[in-house]
Amino acid sequence: MNKAIRLNLRYRTDPERIRRVLPPLLEPDDEAVVLVDYALIDLEEAFRNIFVPGPYYESGFHVSAKYRGKRGVFQIGMPLNHDWGRTMGREYVGYHKKDGKVEIEVEGDTVRACLWRRGALIHRIESVTTNKPAHPLNWFREFGYGAFLYRFRLNSDWRQGPLSNGPVELWRLGGNDHEYPTEMIIGDSLPSACDLKLTKFEFVDPSPLDPCCEFPPLELLAVTYHGVFWEKQLLPPRIAARPGSAEEGMFGPGSVFLEAVDKTAFEPWTFIGHDRPITKGRSWCPAGWPDSTTAMRLTAQEVQDYRSRQCISLAPVNLIDIEMEVTPENHARTLPPQCKRGDRPVVRILAVQVGASDISSLPFNELWLFSRCEADGKPAYYALSHIVDGGGDVIYGRETLGYPSKMGTIELKLENNNIAVYGRRLDRDFFHCAATISPKAKPSRKDELAVLGIQMQPFKTEQAPYAELMLQPWEVHCGNLREAVAGDVKIDFPDSQSPGFIGRPDPWFELQPCRVIRLSMSQGEIHRRPAKSLGALPNFLPYYIERYDGIFGANLDKLILEGSKASFFVDKNLKTLGVA
């Protein structure tokens, strides 16, 4: 049985708490209201797809606001647990979506939900459903007034300031210019009201990375529940709008540009939709937070401290470094035109176990796949794939530096002289490696890597997508360096299918045939320096579509049913895009 569940909370809060977080061009609404929603879509295995590859959980947190007298909501955050919904939501809509863990449980008439992120339990709710219809005012998030969203990019060279050279724009998603619907619609498939007297909502672990606790609930206004269950089709039954009904008035235009934002005025709000800066695993937190200050904006001193950073540090790390030779034909098919092939058809794999970093407040593992090349007149490594586990970053590096970051399961086993690495994502293994390491250590060394990525600019509905080729210098400090005998290294690139319509994403198997040149293990540090743009990357989509697991285009329902055709090879992606 397939199911879709939504639980929505609406409450009144302190108006001053909302006023202090609103960026330029927004002002407080007449009512200081917070909207919290929890959503779940769960499909039978046969129907799973790139959008819903397993139980899809999401939670939104919005506060009321106005733009030039027009009412709407401003998004504080929207964590969810799958890549495709997060990346499409951020890059093509402007949502402040992040990675996170949402839980929803229904037991009889009782429904419970909570949000976890970066090891913190952010908020949780428990309520009891009734047979009474919910008022349209208390339905799902953007219905009615619409959501105000800011589109911009961070600067890859933070020494110049936190904002990129591009514009900052305010957009509105959904909603309309009419009065909010006040009619009641009674129907079996529509949301029902929950009992406020039996509702418990609380913030548990205050986190400046997700500062929802800044908005204390002063009065619960409504809780609604909507559960839909169905069989024998991919998507849930849709609620059809009825002419003249309240529901018809809730659906407005998709995305509308409102106004360009003054960048100097907006600078303190640069990290809305991102995690606040982090140093050695600890998030920056303003003095007096949350009582007298907000974590939604940077102080002047924090902006200055951010600009003065020398590098993004990952330390300590355990590092497994693998170089492999592939066929010249396959190597050439992976590289954008600005990247010359270089002298050898080589790919490089870095498996990294990170203890502390300036990227995340948690330890994490990550797995990189690079294609060696030349760019900007020097040897470089073009990032083909970057998979991180639960504590890693999939937002900053992807949007600011152009890295192909996704969430997965990365396991590194380091036992005595034996090492093993496993990579798994979307219900399929994509990489296995095992080797025996020499006990004899070699002299420490420092590797310098010029890492290339594709940074896509925020999507504009009236323009073609635009991207730039980015270069970030890395310094990899390797101590206690030990190597394996290349001929004894066992590497496997499974090519099995994922369930349902998912296909075969993360096509590392395309690298075959290949030959291991070397494998080493070390302990040390990685320092990532300010990056720069190498210029526009025309016709970049064939090189970018793998980052969407091969699903990109206008007819998304049809493409999702066809399954992932993701490829590192540009000629295959041209066929997927229908331009070859």
The pLDDT-based confidence of 240 (bands split at 50, 70, 90) is: very low
Distance CA 203, CA 429 (A): 37
Read off the pLDDT of each residue in 147-164 and give the average, rounded to a whole number: 96
Query: Over the range 107-121, which residues count as b (16 or more CB within 10 Å of their CB) and which as e?
Result: eeeebbbbbbbbebb
Same domain, 81 and 175: yes
pLDDT, position 372: 98
Same domain, 400 and 270: no
Distance CA 411, CA 118 (A): 19
* 215 three-class SS: coil
As given in the structure block, the two tokens for residue 226 are 């909507």
Backbone angles phi, psi at 7, to 5 degrees: -125, 125
Is a pLDDT exceeding 80 seen at residue 15? yes
Same domain, 227 and 343: no
Q: Per residue in 403-425, pLDDT tens?
A: 999 999 999 999 889 999 999 99
As given in the structure block, the two tokens for residue 314 are 């990952």
CATH number, position 351: 2.40.400.10
Flag whether 547 is in a domain.
no
Is a pLDDT exceeding 60 seen at residue 253? no
485 vs 267, residue with greater confidence: 267
Distance CA 574, CA 215 (A): 48
pLDDT, position 375: 95
Residue 402: DSSP 8-state: -
Average pLDDT score, the chain: 91
The pLDDT-based confidence of 44 (bands split at 50, 70, 90) is: very high
Same domain, 249 and 147: yes
Positive or negative, the CA dihedral 250, 255, 258, 261 is positive
Q: Which domain holds residue 436?
A: 310-537
133 vs 520, residue with greater confidence: 520
Selection from 454, 358, 333 nearest residue 398 by Cα? 454
As given in the structure block, the two tokens for residue 326 are 């592939």
Residues 6+ apart with CB under 8 A from 37: 6, 7, 8, 9, 59, 60, 140, 141
pLDDT, position 229: 83
Q: Per residue in 113-123, pLDDT tens?
A: 999 999 999 99
Furthest C-alpha separation in the chain: 79
Same domain, 286 and 378: no
Distance CA 80, CA 522 (A): 34
The pLDDT-based confidence of 184 (bands split at 50, 70, 90) is: low
Flag whether 557 is in a domain.
no
pLDDT, position 136: 77
Flag whether 545 is in a domain.
no
Tally of domains within the chain: 2
pLDDT, position 187: 61
Please tell me whether the peptide bond between 513 and the residue prior to it is cis, using omega within 30 degrees of 0: yes
pLDDT, position 92: 84
pLDDT, position 146: 84
Same domain, 128 and 185: yes
Distance CA 40, CA 412 (A): 31
Read off the pLDDT of each residue in 296-318 and give the average, rounded to a whole number: 98
Flag whether 551 is in a domain.
no
Residues 6+ apart with CB under 8 A from 343: none
pLDDT, position 554: 61
pLDDT, position 343: 86
As given in the structure block, the two tokens for residue 453 are 């990525």
Is a pLDDT exceeding 50 seen at residue 218? yes
